[in-house]
Structure 1
Amino acid sequence: MAGEFQPGQPMRLEELATAFGTSHMPIREALNRLVVAGALEQAPRRSVRIPKLTEKQIRDLLAVRLVNEGQAVEWAAKSCTSADIAKLATLNSKLDDLENAEEFDVRQYLKFNQSFHFTLYALSQNEILLKTIEILWLQSGPLLHLLAAGMALQHGHKRHSEVVACLAAGDGVGASEALKNDIREAYATMFATIKKGWPDRT
């Protein structure tokens, strides 16, 4: 979800087991579950890798994200409290701090961006919708690697303050539209990056 892996990258069992300090069995089970979720795909010689999505697949993923995440925000607006809005504002301020830091910490930025989104979506109080969004993020997360590699993530959260302001005003439709614009702008940058060519990873 956080863009640690890039499209086309192979998932090597030995490397993952070492990185997570565990045996092959739980890693293999996790990889199989991610294949079922569409976050990974089978590759030759019984290996798995991050899918390298086609432009149509990415556009389809974008369309489904807009529907589901936009709906989550509309429902969130009906139940969020002033404390919830304050929490979102705090998470967004952390993104501001990272953006203005002397050295841009990509990993921390992605971490707080994900926290902002899922804190927001959880306010919809719909577990089925939240699980659906998690799967969509699993599928689209590696595309963030392209933005991170090109340092195109900075200024990527500028719509968050609009989301928070609309929630504070009780404007669920406005909050939803601001969130969808946030997603659209990220994907526009992704498409521009992809047109320059996929990065190689063997």
Structure 2
Amino acid sequence: MCPVVSLADKAYFSIKNKILRGELQPGFPLREEHLSEMFSISRTPLRKALTQLLAEGFLIKGRDRTLRVPYITVSELQDTMKARKLLETAAAAEACKNCSNDDISRLEHIIDDEREAWLVHDNFVILTMDSLFHNFIAQTSKNKIYAEFVEILGYKAALYLALSNTLTDEINYALEEHKAILNAFKLGLPDKAADAMSSHIENVEKRIFDVIKKEKGRNLNFNF
């Protein structure tokens, strides 16, 4: 039996999808009356969806109280990646100690699904699978604080990847890095898992900055 999807959920995923696909650019105002008409839903479920997107950082509220897609500052990107590296390196080591064969199989399926999404250029699914990979590792660490904050930082990372257009050939590198983390899990080597995760996050940051440097002067999604 298929789960029931609420109107609020439909609006949430639809708006988030448009942001991650680049259809709603930074600075773009989201007005309730227009969105209500666009999705043919009342204000109550729409506001619930917008509140969730606001909490996750996919939207910000300006001084005029209008919701907009945020611009990303380079310093914010650096701070986020630094925090991710500290948290996820530790989480990967702990998860490697705790993981079962079923957990390893689950990670393999996530990587396969991410590759399939990359091959068909489905950015929304790519980012969903990427977040799922990192979140699942944090959950497997059995540390609830790791899991909570990795999920929060994952929202920001997904937005950075989408706004920097780092979802084309670069994803193939990310997939190989995910495989390296998985291989450390299979070998039962926590230190190697931590090193592989640390290297992966450093490389993600570098790839985003490489794109920003190339696009500087044309890239309107980042504030320098």
TM category (shorter chain) comes to 0.7 to 0.9
Could you list the per-position Cα deviations for residues 69-126 of structure 1 after superposition, in whole angstroms to 9, with x for gaps in the alignment? 2222122112111111122122223334444x4x433333223222222222211122
The residue aligned with 2:142 is 125
Checking the alignment, whether the CA contact within 8 Å between 2:92 and 2:141 is kept in structure 1 is yes
User: 122, 129, 136: which one pairs with 1:112?
Assistant: 129
Encode CA deviations 1:141-179: one digit per residue, 9 max, x unaligned: 221213547624431221011111101111112112212
Which one of the candidate residues 50, 66, 82 is aligned to 2:85? 66
Report the more deviating stretch, 25-34 or 75-84: 25-34
Taking only the aligned residue pairs, the percentage that are identical comes to 25
Aligned match of 1:165 in 155, 164, 183? 183
- Match for 1:117: what amino acid? H
Partner of 2:192: 174
What is the distance in 1 between the residues matched to 2:38 and 2:175?
A: 30
Q: Could you say what secondary structure the match of 2:176 adopts?
A: coil
Structure 2 stretches of 5 or more lacking a match? 1-15
Matched with 1:138 is: 155
Paired residue for 1:77, among 96, 101, 112? Answer: 96
Aligned pairs, number: 198
Q: Aligned-residue CA RMSD in angstroms?
A: 2.8
AA at the equivalent of 1:51: P
Q: 2:96·2:190 contact (CA, 8 Å) conserved in 1?
A: yes
1:11–1:192 CA distance, 2 compared to 1 (3 A): farther
| Greater relative contact order (CA < 8 Å, ≥ 6 in sequence) | 1
Q: Verify: 1:184 aligned to 2:202, yes or no.
A: yes
CA distance in 2, matches of 1:18, 1:105: 26
Unaligned 5+ segments in structure 1 are: none
Q: Comparing both structures, which one devotes a greater share of its residues to helix?
A: 2
